[in-house]
A and B are shown apart, each in its own frame.
Chain A
Amino acid sequence: MHTINEAATSRRASARRSPGLRAAGKAIVTVVLAAFAVLMILPFLWMLSTSFKINAEVFRYPIEWIPQNWHWENYRKVWTGPNAFSIYYLNSIKITGITVAGNLLTSAMAGFAFAKLRFKGREALFLLYLSTMMIPSQVLLLPRFILFDHMRLINTHWSLILPGMFTVFGTFLLRQFFSTLPGELLEAARVDGAGFWRMFWQIALPLTKPALVTLMIITFNWHWNEYEGPLIFLRDRHLFTIPLGLTTYVEEMGTNYVLSMAASVSSFIPLLIVVIVGQRWFVEGIANTGLKG
């Protein structure tokens, strides 16, 4: 009996190691992880350094991480001329902005109704929504192409904006958040004579701000990075979004790698800003919904 106790005590002591030892262990793990993290961003660093070089220097080994001369003219070439990157920027901002705003509004309204208003057929409609949530974009793109072809919307930004404005995912997500709001809150407003729009706009909506931000960031990331939709629906260069503009440009440049990398860096800047400014919300949003951005 005695010995068992002793053994337990010594085990406990070894488990609670001294703070110095723990700090040392932590430092070692930090160094290993830092090395790994640097490895993770190495492709970006390589892109950045290559974008300032001349083509003869691109594949020199050992890699010159800091260019001998900074060739800023690579960026001037990417940003000026007939296919300047600024056009793609404007297109991406316009498409993403309208889509995200529209999706937030229609999803919030529908989500509110599904969660808080009683009307005939509500459950059946919601079931219909749910049953189509798992349909992959590959199934939808094809009939949408035919539909837009007949609506004469191929090769317009509307072919990307319209389908993005009405999503099952957004409706579902916001309905879940609205459901958690206590019913008494809205009852009280109703007794005070508030209409349904005021209940929605002035009471329910402000309380779901975290969910709205989450949906906003996730859909922003989707539409900003989307590749297949623009590839299928857009034909004219001046309508292209950043990802499609980038790959088209890179294809044209062929082995002119420095310009390809300068274009890649250019496409990367807005995302980098969003990561740095919005990382907290983005991380929380993904963690809350479990969904891929």
Chain B
Amino acid sequence: MRKWRHARMREQAAGYLFILPNFAGYLVFVLAPILFSLYLVFVDWEYLKGFDGIRWVGLDNFRALGSDPKFVESLQNNLVFTVISVPGSMIVGLLLAVALNKYVYMRNALRTMIFLPYMSSLAAVSVIWSVMYNSGSGPINAFLRSVGIDHPPGWLSSPHSALYAIIIMSVWMTIGYTMIIYLAGLQGISKDLYEAADIDGASKPRQLLQVTVPMLTPTTFLILVTQLIWSFQVFAPVAIMTQGGPIDSTMVLSYHIYLEAFRFYKMGYAAAMSWVLFAIIFVVTIVQWQGQKRWQNHF
């Protein structure tokens, strides 16, 4: 009995020791910052004056959000970005995965090529596309003119097209990701289902819609939530290609937070916005979680 208790004690001690390095780091670099940030949302801080510059303002930071045109614009742009880019890359990724799974030769080579943009760094990719988007004589507009479009879009230089230019690049980049996840999902579908559908005389497009797509629903939920979260946090392309311009047409939440915090040192206000971003991500995740549960109960 005594020996047994001794062993339990040793296991306890080992448990704490194993967790210690990670937990210490977690306390300092994750938990403490989160708590401090929760405090920051209630203050106005003249950062350069140090801790003396802190003034308690209650909910003023959140009240200010409504009258900040840049914040409103950021939300709208994030929404447009998400609503177009997420379904766009999911549909293309699904079609590619279905084709790659069964109907092509040279599967690995094609997969690598399509996957390449996703592996590369956003910084390098943003640099390349900025030059290609050059409205005067870049290769994209040169091509458009050569096929008879006399007034191609101004891309990054025009407030009407800049956001869409970034969306196109993002879809191009994330197709590889959605394709890979869908490919993994497809391997899990039993061949019997397709044989049964064949015997029932279902055409291939009908099989795609009535066998493949429903069977892939868990995969779709997974991709949807990661893509949604990613698209609400988009930062590097905006910072590198447009800095939120022209005339705030590509201003997004993460970049607005960056400017307020690290250019203007309005720490309290920026912290408030960062928690709005968290709230959006939180709601999106909960909604998809509920949706997935309902779907699972349904079948």
| A interface residue numbers (CB < 8 A to B) | 8, 11-12, 15-16, 25-27, 29-30, 33-34, 36-38, 40-41, 43-44, 46-47, 50, 58-59, 61-63, 105-107, 109-110, 112-114, 117-120, 122, 125, 128-129, 132, 134-147, 162-163, 165-166, 168, 171, 196-197, 200, 221, 224-225, 227-228, 231-232, 242-244, 246-247, 250, 257, 260-261, 263-264, 267-268, 271, 274-276, 279, 282-283, 286-287, 290-293
Contact = CB atoms under 8 A, between A and B. Distances in A.
Given A147-B32, A227-B236, A109 B22 contact: yes
Contact of A16 (B23, B111, B198, B229): B198
B275 to A, nearest CB: 6
B40 to A, nearest CB: 7
A221 to B, nearest CB: 7
Interface stretch (B132-140, B153-161, B291-299): B132-140
Contacts of A279: 112, 115
Contacts, number: 289
Contacts of B267: 142, 146
A109 B139 contact: no
A273 to B, nearest CB: 11
A231 B261 CA distance: 13
Interface residues of B, number: 99
B274 interface: yes
Contacts of B10: 196
Interface in B118-147: 118-129, 131-132, 134, 137-139, 142-143, 146
B71 interface: no
Contacts of A200: 18
11 contacts: A29-B104, A34-B110, A40-B113, A43-B129, A61-B139, A144-B33, A227-B236, A246-B127, A247-B126, A282-B119, A290-B223
A37 B105 CA distance: 13
B199 A12 contact: yes
A25 B102 CA distance: 11
Contacts of A224: 121
Contacts of B65: none
Chain B interface, DSSP helix/strand/loop, else mixed: helix
Nearest to B15: A119
A142 B260 CA distance: 10
B120 A271 contact: yes
Given A12-B198, A30-B106, A120 B233 contact: no
Contacts of B275: 139
B21 A267 contact: no
B142 A59 contact: yes
A136 B233 contact: yes
Contact of B34 (A50, A139, A260): A139
Contacts of B123: 225, 227, 242-244, 246-247, 267
B198 A15 contact: yes
A227 B239 contact: yes
B236 A117 contact: no
B258 A162 contact: no
Given A132-B31, A243-B123, 14 more contacts: A15-B198, A15-B199, A43-B128, A44-B128, A61-B143, A110-B22, A119-B15, A120-B12, A125-B19, A136-B278, A140-B33, A143-B271, A166-B30, A247-B240
